[in-house]
Amino acid sequence: MIFPIVIEQDEDGYFAQCPTLPGCHTHGKTYEEVWRNIREAVELVIEDRRAHGESIPVSGMVSFATLEVVA
């Protein structure tokens, strides 16, 4: 399965979330740590949903892009 992940940096490190899986988010002090943490979080959410007979949502994301805006 492939899930989109959003990672943002703030003064405390990094924050990651999986928009496809509501409530699936984590943080880490480094970029590498947040990647490990979000992988674990996604795996745990999937495991929990399966254990409770819930479906696994499919991402509707069709592309990813960044946008630079000059303000």
pLDDT at 68 over 80: yes
pLDDT at 61 over 80: no
The per-residue DSSP string of the chain comes to -----EEEEETTEEEEE-TTSTT-EEEESSHHHHHHHHHHHHHHHHHHHHHTTPPPP--------------
pLDDT of residue 41: 98
Confidence band of 63 (pLDDT split at 50, 70, 90): confident
* pTM reported for the whole predicted model: 0.85
Which residues contact residue 14 at a Cβ distance below 8 angstroms, ignoring those fewer than 6 apart?
A: 7, 8, 27, 28, 29, 30, 31, 33, 34
Confidence band of 67 (pLDDT split at 50, 70, 90): confident
pLDDT of residue 2: 87
